[in-house]
Amino acid sequence: MNTFENTGLNKNILKAIDSLGFEKTTPIQESTIPILMSSNKDVIATAETGTGKTAAFGLPMLHLTDIGDLTTQSLVLCPTRELCIQIALDLASYAKNMDGINILSVYGGSSIENQIKALRKGAHIVIGTPGRTKDLIKRKKLMLISNYCQEYLKRLFEITQSIDLQQIENFFCICENARKNNNKIFFAGNGGSAATASHFSSDFLGANIKKQIKPPYQTISLTDNNSVITAFGNDFGYDLIFKDQLISLFSEGDVLVIISASGNSTNIVEAVKWVNENNGVSVGIVGFDGGQVLQICQHTIHCQSNEGEYGPVEDSHLIIDHIINNYILKYV
């Protein structure tokens, strides 16, 4: 390799290196840069002071940084405040031609509130002392994507563990009875749950085709017809967009499946009440504390969670869909 031009670093970094008077790579740089640039391998490297260790890891780090993503992508730990500041200055000099990159140093003896404000704005690379870094992580102000992934998946697992599996089996039996009796299964929800409702419906229809199921599942997503939803919402009110569709499409014995994180939206509550009053079957797949839907639906699947945990709740709902769909594909 010998020269920085042969490293594959982007031209803005090379331009900065050249302006700093660096031409040839040092042994530690020659050994580590190719590995860091082209693989996901962990690297442990040691070298004496003044041999270019900061550039050895810092240049590939800068090259691999996605400036369009303001999440923290790299963390450098330093034993002392002075070294933390020095490494931040070095990285900034290498990145001086990279518009939009944010490099932040965090250490004790300086205002943590100012550092938190800087993190909120977005820091691609954080250089910190162990104590201050640990403090920011405990406050959930510094979160690497890998750490957040672990935390998110752990919470998703906890929520799915709260589900009563008998409720899923009951739901499958309801769908089977509807299929065998030539009844329709309607799905409805708002926002992300509207997409989940559509996903449920399409998976049942897909199973019909893949398995040539007779009689087939007759599923309808009440969230899919934009013309109907906007017309009914405009003319009669958004609170009635699902109920009004059911008045035209519903028959005795049909099933309404509500997908909702909160279980409190007026349009789904009104739809459930109407189905219950018209000899239908109501099922609520809900999150949080279940809301009104948990109280008024004849059958429920409850993914118990804290208020506002939309992401893992909606993921849990999709997992239920995929459990049912995969079971149908294997055993129906």
The pLDDT tens digits for 60-112 are 999 999 999 988 999 999 999 999 999 999 999 999 999 999 999 999 999 99
Cβ contacts of residue 98 below 8 Å, gap of 6+?
12, 13, 62, 65, 67
Choice among 142-156, 176-190, 214-228 with the minimum mean pLDDT: 142-156
Query: Average pLDDT, whole number, for the chain?
Result: 96
In a domain, 45, yes or no: no
Indicate whether 290 pLDDT > 70: yes
In a domain, 141, yes or no: no
Indicate whether 1 pLDDT > 70: no
| pLDDT tier at 144, thresholds 50, 70, 90 | confident
Q: What is the pLDDT of residues 31-45, one digit of tens each?
A: 999 999 998 889 999
In a domain, 129, yes or no: no
Strands (E), the chain: 74-77, 103-106, 125-128, 184-188, 218-221, 255-260, 281-286, 299-302
Q: What is the pLDDT of residues 196-207, one digit of tens each?
A: 999 999 999 999
Percent of the chain with pLDDT over 70: 100
In a domain, 133, yes or no: no
Selection from 52, 48, 107, 103 nearest residue 77 by Cα: 107
Cβ contacts of residue 277 below 8 Å, gap of 6+?
none
Q: Is the pTM of this model over 0.75?
A: no
Task: Give the count of domains, the chain.
Answer: 1
In a domain, 57, yes or no: no
Asked if residues 223 and 192 have their Cβ atoms less than 8 Å apart, the reply is: no
Residue type, 105: S
Across the range 170-176, mean pLDDT stands at 98
Selection from 173, 1, 9, 13 nearest residue 91 by Cα: 13
Across the range 1-28, mean pLDDT stands at 93
What does the CA dihedral 101, 107, 110, 115 come to, rounded to 10 degrees? 40
Distance CA 184, CA 215 (A): 11
Domain range enclosing 208? 162-331
In a domain, 261, yes or no: yes
Residue type, 81: R
In a domain, 186, yes or no: yes
What CATH code is carried by the domain that includes residue 189? 3.40.50.10490
